[in-house]
Amino acid sequence: MSLLQIENLSLTIHGADILKRVSLSIASGQIVAVTGESGSGKSMTALAVMQLLPNGADAAGAIQLEGKDLLNVPEAEMCALRGASIGMVFQEPMTALNPVKTIGDQVMETILIHKAMPRAQAQERAQEVLTRVGLPPDRFPLSRYPHELSGGQRQRVVIAMAIALRPKLLIADEPTTALDVTTQAQILELLKGLVTEYGMGLLMITHDLAVVADIADRIVVMRYGEVVESGATVDLMRNMQHPYTRMLFAASGHQVTLPASPAPSPLLEVRHVVRDYRLPRKRLFDTPGHHRAVNDVTFTLNRGERLGLVGESGCGKSTLTRSILGIDDVQAGEIRLDGEPVFSGHKPNPAVRRKMQVVFQDPYGSFNPRHRVFRLITEPFHLLEKPPTGSERQDRIAEMLTAVGLSPDDADKYIHEFSGGQRQRIAIARALMIRPDLILFDEAVSALDVSVRAQILDLLAELCATYDLTYLFISHDLSVVRTITDRVMVMQAGKIVEQGETEQVFSYPQHPYTRTLIEAAPILPDIGVTIENTLN
């Protein structure tokens, strides 16, 4: 008998169909991956198993955990099952953790709520599971708070909370989406090890098909609340039947062709830049220490060139970006754009600042939801001494929306009326609005589905041909950087340890750290399909 058996699960919320006759099963010691685009019903399936559905939800069918139908279990009994028999790892560890509680208290919380053992034993179990997930108490005492840990370490704490009572079923909802490649590889190896060691079943929800190919025993592909295809991982990838499955895998390995770069002409010059952050005093009269986030960084970005910047979380990528934008002053070195300094004294130079724009990772969080699109994308006009008005302003809005594949009529809509990919297109339109000399893309496609990511990459290639874009593309997704840049820099602990032509660096890495990054990146098997022949 299967550990988890979902049969013909249908779900409506206030009468709207969310899930339609979903069926899947998980055995003990088995990893089943549910994949598909945003809105396909992946997370709602997991929440139905946990019985954490919103008000107005009505479920039909069967969800059986070791023969017990969870749809007919009273809430008090479900509370006893959650944490003890079913554990869940949520997508965003900082949101899942309580910022005012220590990691020890949060791991012990599940144990104590279920009254599984006395507090002294619960503390020992917390130390045990934290050690098992790679956070030994000698280096990570139970008194640490979440903000004192990196993203990967927080995710390990969330996993420790989920396995504290060794549940029979573990649900992991996008557990590696926001992590860099080396941390992602460690978390995936940890999850595989836990399944083998504890014999638990793992339901893994992800849109990263390279991860799916590497970790899952079985794959379930969902679209619009339905299961369109499922099967053993190797068999499904060798013999895909549904066009949607083929499209997803083709989009995961999508490549674009950039136009040739013009002759080298320096635009952005970064020379021996150093950026330090002051650390808090350990004792009252101690001299405060300093953390060097950017350490003697030097590089040149030529006009019309596309430059990538990769590295793990905490390596200094975002700090360097803030300095280039004139947000954070530097302690040493200089940054020049088109020959002019980014900083005038210790203040940003407005004449230089108007020549740069940025596209952020979260396309929804970077917009004011109360404003319409026409106001949002014209925000950069405040940088100009004489912003366009009247018909000239309207023509510029229509031109930019059309350039990113939207309609001029979209200018009167609100941002919540668009999908994630459309919001990112609007963010790019905003960046292009004043025709900047340089655009900085900060993890601009990291949160997007594979098919939407492919569309955005195609859009960037088209805009490069139309507007001769010059950009710095910051990302931890090596496959994206490889296809969308001419040159790449690898950053480690605040230093550029390797740089060169993108294909040369990826094919023949010279620095050990570069080799570590490339080896840690999950690789999608060559399945011999392209987007063109799957969408037609």
Q: What tens digit of pLDDT does each residue of 72-96 get?
A: 999 999 998 998 899 998 877 777 8
> Is residue 527 scored above 60 in pLDDT?
no
HSE of 460, CA atoms in CB hemisphere, 13 A = 32
Phi first, then psi: give them for residue 3, nearest 5 degrees: -70, -50
Pick from 166, 149, 438: which is nearest to 302 by CA? 438
> Is residue 341 scored above 90 in pLDDT?
yes
- pLDDT tens per residue, range 90-147: 877 777 899 999 999 999 998 999 988 899 999 999 999 999 888 888 888 999 898 8
The residue-averaged pLDDT of 184-197 equals 87
Domain 1-85+168-252 has CATH 3.40.50.300: yes
Q: Give me the pLDDT at residue 26, please.
A: 95
- Whole-angstrom distance, CA of residue 247 vs CA of residue 337: 41
Q: Give me the pLDDT at residue 489, please.
A: 95
Structure token digits, residue 343? 């900083």
> Is residue 507 scored above 60 in pLDDT?
yes
β-strands 57-65, 4-13: how paired?
antiparallel
pTM value is 0.81
- Whole-angstrom distance, CA of residue 536 vs CA of residue 243: 9
Tell me the pLDDT band of 499, cut-offs 50, 70 and 90. very high
> Is residue 191 scored above 80 in pLDDT?
yes
Q: Give the burial class of 281: count Cβ atoms within 10 A of its Cβ; 0-12 exposed, 13-18 middle, 19 or more buried.
A: exposed
- Whole-angstrom distance, CA of residue 108 vs CA of residue 131: 14
HSE of 172, CA atoms in CB hemisphere, 13 A = 31
Residue ranges, comma separated, of all CATH 3.40.50.300 domains in the chain are: 1-85+168-252
Tell me the pLDDT band of 531, cut-offs 50, 70 and 90. very low
